[in-house]
């Protein structure tokens, strides 16, 4: 039997603490769309996406109305384009990106992910074409998101690709400099990428997935912070318990939405991604949870420990609430998308180096980091290599979404708008790593025992 | 389908009567009402059955929201599952 307190608590979470379902992402396999003629291929993928996802937005809106819980985004992920476009007789996939963009606009989703290549060990012809197409594709399209997986615990790090992507990111920034290098906000570089991630910009529909799948990303940093406000001074074991219970409740909402979306769209339920995803809105910040635990500012000593506990407790609480869990699952720390992170950078409490340490214990990596436009491609590659190494050695997903903003320097701000937020530029260590990056080659896969 | 109707706002005369009238008009059967006043704020939770109603939930939500607007109250109607699932293992 329902009791009034539970009902009022649920509605308070939604109305006052920004509880929402961050995304329903429909994964679609494009493996049956291959064709040697690029025009036919583009036509195939457009038809498949627009027919499969025709009802996605309507169903998402219906569920939102019926249950009274906001569903912020409806999105699509597709099979990595480097794989399915490989048999096309062409040397550029920019047209493919346009076809994806048209399909996204037709069905009304705000992002489509999967302009991707998976190259931890090396390239195929399709991988090379895709990576070369990224800058122009992201500059000319609005809703297409790109990602490259260049390292894994089982394969090592593809350092040739690390080097190349430093240049790709610089070029993407240059081609979108009129929009504060917005193109780079749609490009994620992964180590140990997962195949069922519902979150953008890194979502793609992995080759091990079913024909279609519904993956749901939940959110609710504000709900966790509110719960902790009622336990000020309690010991950390108690704090972990509160986070677990709150994560359970948040995830239950995601499970309900995923189940309904799956039933109404007649698409198998894939996974719930147990993530705390912040937004720039006040009261929706992961940094503020860490501060509620007792830090003067996110970035202070103790931040990594607090984040580690938060991340672990969210998973423990969420696991019980859902039949299938996957994706990235953990607290996100995207700087420009989190009001508390932005404030911490502004007051000098949070540095790139501290963020790097934080990525060792949470999902996902150096995310939405705006840096001065004059940093070199090799320095960007060095940052990617460091992050990939953390992922490779620790057997976890890590990612880099870095935005070198042309014409801007320390003290300047960037404004991406909407969920992508705004941010002051972060300071980058400018000692050079050019000779290390220019070596190229591959860092071998690490030991998986003797791991001290 | 069972829905949970929550009414929140400043207390005044006739809230239950007017909300119930909207529901009766739409053929919605009220199963349970729970109400209290906290610091002058009216909190009411109704559980109602929609199966006998020919009106879609969306229209009922709209009629309730309009009535809420007139009376300075926030009135929501949600499928009960969101509450059932969140608070039960």
CB A8 to CB B45 under 8 A? yes
Domains by residue range for chain B, with CATH: 2-86 (3.30.70.260)
More confident residue, A451 or A331: A331
Q: What is the pLDDT of residues A86-106, one digit of tens each?
A: 999 999 999 999 999 999 999
Assess whether pLDDT exceeds 80 at residue A378.
yes
**Which ipTM did the prediction report?**
0.89
Q: In this structure, which topology does domain A216-433 adopt according to CATH? A: Anaerobic Ribonucleotide-triphosphate Reductase Large Chain (3.20.70)
- Residue percentage of chain A with pLDDT more than 70: 100
Task: Say yes or no: A264 contacts chain B, CB-CB below 8 A.
Answer: no
The chain-wide mean pLDDT, for chain B, equals 92
Q: What is the pLDDT of residues A261-306, one digit of tens each?
A: 999 999 999 999 998 889 888 889 999 999 999 999 999 999 999 9
Q: What is the pLDDT of residue A399?
A: 96
Q: What is the pLDDT of residues A391-403, one digit of tens each?
A: 999 999 999 999 9
State which residue of chain A sits closest to B57, comparing Cα positions: A66
Task: Say yes or no: A319 contacts chain B, CB-CB below 8 A.
Answer: no
- Residue percentage of chain A with pLDDT more than 90: 89
Q: What is the pLDDT of residue B54?
A: 87
When pLDDT is cut at 50, 70 and 90, the band that residue A81 belongs to is: very high
Assess whether pLDDT exceeds 90 at residue A448.
no
Task: Say yes or no: A65 contacts chain B, CB-CB below 8 A.
Answer: yes
CB A249 to CB B87 under 8 A? yes
3 state SS for chain A: CCCHHHHHHHHHHHHCCCCCEEEEEEEECCHHHCCCCHHHHHHHHHHHHHHHCCCHHHHHHHHHHHHCCCEEEEEEEECCHHHHCCCCCCCCCHHHHHHHHHHHHHHCCCCEEEEEEECCCCCCHHHHHHHHHHHHHHHHCCCEEEEEEEEECCCEEEHHHHHHHHHHHHHHHHHCHHHCCHHHHHEEEEECCCCCCCCCCCCCCCCCCCCEEEEEEECCHHHHHHHHHCCCCCCHHHHHHHHHHHHHHHHHHHHHHHHHHHHHHCCCEEEEECCECCCCCCCCCHHHHHHHCCCCCCCCCCHHHHHHHHHHHHHHHHHCCCCCEECCCCECCCHHHCHHHHHHHHCCCCCHHHHHHHCCCCCCCEEEEEEECCCCHHHHHHHHHHHHHHHHHHCCCEEEEEEEECCCCCCCEEECCHHHCEEECCCCCCCCCHHHHHCCCEECCCCCCCCC
- Using a CB-CB cut-off of 8 Å, the residues of chain B touching A253 are 82, 85-86
Q: What is the pLDDT of residue A252?
A: 93
Range B60-73 average pLDDT: 94
Q: What is the pLDDT of residue A452?
A: 73
Q: What is the pLDDT of residue A110?
A: 95
Q: What is the pLDDT of residues A134-190, one digit of tens each?
A: 999 999 999 999 999 999 999 999 999 999 999 999 999 999 999 999 999 999 999
When pLDDT is cut at 50, 70 and 90, the band that residue B69 belongs to is: very high
Q: What is the pLDDT of residue A275?
A: 87
Q: What is the pLDDT of residues A8-64, one digit of tens each?
A: 889 889 988 889 999 999 999 999 999 999 999 999 999 999 999 999 999 999 999
Q: What is the pLDDT of residue B40?
A: 80
Smallest CA–CA distance, residue A380 to chain B, in Å, is: 43
Q: What is the pLDDT of residue A5?
A: 85
State which residue of chain B sits closest to A63, comparing Cα positions: B79
The chain-wide mean pLDDT, for chain A, equals 95
Q: What is the pLDDT of residues A185-217, one digit of tens each?
A: 999 999 999 999 999 999 999 999 999 999 999
């Amino acid at each position: 039997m329902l009791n009034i307190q539970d009902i009022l608590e649920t509605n308070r979470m939604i109305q006052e603490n920004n509880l929402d379902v961050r995304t329903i992402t429909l994964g679609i396999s494009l493996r049956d769309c291959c064709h040697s003629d690029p025009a036919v291929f583009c036509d195939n993928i457009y038809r498949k996406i627009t027919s499969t996802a025709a009802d996605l937005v309507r169903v998402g809106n219906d569920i939102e109305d019926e249950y009274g819980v906001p569903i912020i985004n409806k999105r699509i992920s597709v099979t990595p384009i480097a794989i399915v476009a490989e048999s096309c007789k062409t040397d550029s996939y920019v047209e493919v990106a346009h076809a994806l963009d048209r399909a996204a606009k037709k069905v009304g989703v705000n992002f489509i992910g999967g302009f991707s290549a998976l190259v931890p060990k090396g390239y195929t012809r399709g991988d090379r074409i895709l990576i070369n197409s990224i800058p122009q594709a992201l500059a000319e399209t609005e809703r297409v998101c790109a990602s490259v997986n260049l390292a894994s615990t089982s394969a090592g790090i593809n350092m040739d690709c690390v080097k190349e992507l430093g240049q790709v990111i610089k070029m993407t920034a240059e081609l979108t400099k009129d929009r504060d290098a917005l193109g780079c906000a749609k490009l994620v570089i992964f180590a140990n990428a997962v195949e069922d991630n519902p979150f953008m910009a890194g979502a793609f529909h992995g080759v091990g997935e079913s024909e279609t799948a519904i993956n749901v990303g939940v959110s609710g940093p504000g709900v966790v912070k509110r719960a902790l406000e009622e336990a000020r001074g309690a010991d950390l074991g108690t704090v972990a318990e509160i986070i677990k219970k709150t994560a359970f409740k948040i995830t239950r909402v995601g499970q309900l939405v995923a189940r309904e979306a799956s039933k109404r769209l007649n698409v198998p339920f894939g996974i719930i991604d147990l993530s705390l995803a912040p937004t720039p809105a006040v009261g929706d910040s992961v940094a503020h949870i860490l501060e509620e635990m007792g830090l003067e500012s996110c970035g202070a000593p103790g931040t990594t420990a607090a984040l580690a506990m938060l991340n672990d407790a969210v998973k423990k609480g969420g696991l019980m609430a859902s039949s299938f869990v996957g994706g990235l699952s953990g607290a996100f720390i995207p700087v420009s998308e989190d009001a508390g992170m932005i404030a911490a950078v502004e007051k000098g409490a949070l540095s790139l180096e501290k963020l790097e340490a934080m990525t060792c214990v949470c999902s996902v990596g150096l995310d939405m980091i705006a840096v001065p436009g004059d940093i070199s491609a090799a320095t960007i590659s060095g940052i990617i290599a460091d992050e990939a190494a953390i992922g490779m050695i620790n057997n976890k997903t890590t990612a880099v979404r870095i935005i070198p903003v042309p014409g801007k320097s320390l003290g300047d701000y960037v404004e991406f708008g909407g969920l992508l937020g705004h941010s002051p530029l972060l300071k980058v260590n400018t000692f050079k790593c050019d000779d290390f990056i220019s070596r190229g080659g591959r860092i071998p896969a690490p030991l998986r025992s003797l791991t001290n | 389908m069972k829905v949970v109707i929550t009414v929140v706002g400043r207390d005044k005369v006739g809230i239950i009567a007017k909300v119930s009238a909207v529901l009766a008009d739409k053929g919605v059967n009220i199963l349970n009402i729970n109400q209290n006043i906290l610091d002058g704020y009216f909190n009411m939770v109704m559980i109602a059955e929609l199966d006998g109603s020919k009106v879609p939930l969306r229209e009922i939500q709209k009629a309730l929201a309009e009535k809420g607007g007139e009376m300075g109250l926030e009135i929501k109607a949600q499928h009960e599952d969101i509450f059932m699932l969140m608070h039960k293992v």
